């Protein structure tokens, strides 16, 4: 009955919570915000008055929430501080090339979340917020699991992050070759990709010219288009004198899809192991297992309930290993068939 009444007032449908839906809680709250005026009109209608007589307890609860300004302010706050996180994941959740953007997106996202929380709590940038402390730990913990040398290498080779326009857009920004963490991980990546020492020296020389805008990279057109040109197109246009850096990544869409297949099946196979049911071991599929209430699990412990598979990182650089895993995948598919 209440759904029939609601549909008379709004062309937008209500969204139900589903663990498999991307950011389902945020999406649901956004929909609540869109239909706020509709809900207000609904509870003031004659139809709602008739329904209220059938179940006064539920009707009173709905009415109290709809007219509660504090409740709507909380909804707005949640949507606002999770907005940068939602937007960042949306950018990465596409078929387009975005590996070269991930590192910078994470840095910018964490800073935006901090600004929202500190503004809401009326605190200065150098102050302390217990709530942000928890949120920050969760975000950093998640990023630590996702960040790889490959992300840092892709970040280092994005020409946009070396131009003055980008550097002036945010406080404390430095070119990628001057960032200690990025440089350390890039060097690791170079060692794995260029196992031959002479080849690695050539690659480092090419990177030096690129990062310092020297040699062939000192061309005015090359520098002037760093900010506005797609990185792949920029390297095609100006990277011919740095063939080792210009070489395309071997991680094709098919290989990426196969890695996802392997990743998910490793999680399923782990259910047959003793460690999976050991309470001291990380629970890999929190929502899928429906293991119970989170009341006994602290927030920061909950943030650690995810899968660590560092061996998959090496596959990105090892052609033979990937091919072998693909063959195993095809064999498993045939068995299932």
Q: Taking a C-beta distance cutoff of 8 angstroms, is the pair 105, 88 a contact?
A: yes
In the chain, the N- to C-terminal Cα span, in Å, equals 46
Per-residue pLDDT at 306: 42
Q: Are residues 220 and 262 in the same domain?
A: no
Number of domains in the chain: 2
Q: At 81, which helix (H) or strand (E)?
A: helix 69-92
Single pTM value for the model: 0.60
Q: Are residues 289 and 241 in the same domain?
A: no
- In this predicted model, what pLDDT tens digit does every residue of 133-178 receive, in sequence order? 999 888 888 777 667 787 888 889 999 999 888 888 877 788 988 9
Q: Are residues 222 and 314 in the same domain?
A: no
Q: Dihedral angle at the C-alpha atoms of 322, 324, 326, 329, nearest 10 degrees?
A: -130
* Ramachandran angles phi, psi of 123, nearest 5°: -115, 155
Residue 132 lies in a domain: no
Q: Is the dihedral of CA 314, 316, 322, 328 positive or negative?
A: positive
- In this predicted model, what pLDDT tens digit does every residue of 80-109 receive, in sequence order? 999 998 888 887 776 666 767 777 888 888
The answer to which of 51-55, 90-94, 228-232, 328-332 has the lowest mean pLDDT is 328-332
Residue 45 lies in a domain: no
Residue 294 lies in a domain: yes
Residue 307: which domain range?
253-336
């Amino acid at each position: 009955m209440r759904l029939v009444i609601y549909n008379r007032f709004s062309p937008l449908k209500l969204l139900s919570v589903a663990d498999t839906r991307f950011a389902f809680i945020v999406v649901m709250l956004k929909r609540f915000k869109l239909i706020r005026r509709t809900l207000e009109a609904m509870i003031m209608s004659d139809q709602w008055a008739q329904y209220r007589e059938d179940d006064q307890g539920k009707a009173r609860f709905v009415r109290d929430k709809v007219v509660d300004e504090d409740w709507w302010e909380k909804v707005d706050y949640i949507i606002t501080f999770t907005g940068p996180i939602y937007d960042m994941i949306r950018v990465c959740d596409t078929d387009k090339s975005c590996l070269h953007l991930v590192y910078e997106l994470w840095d910018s996202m964490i800073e935006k979340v901090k600004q929202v929380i500190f503004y809401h709590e009326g605190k200065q940038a150098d102050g302390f917020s217990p709530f942000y402390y928890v949120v920050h730990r969760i975000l950093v913990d998640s990023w630590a699991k996702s960040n790889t040398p490959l992300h840092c290498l892709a970040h280092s080779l994005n020409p946009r992050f070396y131009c003055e326009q980008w550097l002036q857009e945010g406080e404390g920004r430095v070119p990628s070759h001057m960032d200690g963490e990025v440089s350390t991980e890039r060097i690791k990546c170079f060692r794995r990709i260029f196992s031959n020492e002479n080849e690695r020296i050539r690659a480092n020389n090419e990177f030096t010219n690129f990062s310092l805008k020297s040699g062939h990279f000192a061309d005015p057109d090359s520098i002037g288009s760093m900010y506005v040109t797609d990185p792949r197109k920029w390297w095609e246009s100006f990277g011919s004198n740095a063939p080792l850096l210009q070489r395309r990544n071997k991680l094709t869409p098919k290989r990426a899809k196969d890695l996802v297949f392997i990743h998910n099946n490793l999680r399923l196979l782990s259910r047959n192991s003793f460690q999976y049911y050991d309470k001291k071991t990380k629970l890999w599929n929190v929502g899928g297992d429906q293991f119970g209430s989170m009341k006994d699990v602290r927030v920061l412990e909950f943030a650690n309930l995810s899968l660590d598979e560092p061996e998959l990182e090496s596959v990105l650089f090892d052609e033979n290993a990937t091919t072998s895993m693909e063959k195993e995948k095809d064999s498993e598919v045939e068995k299932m068939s």
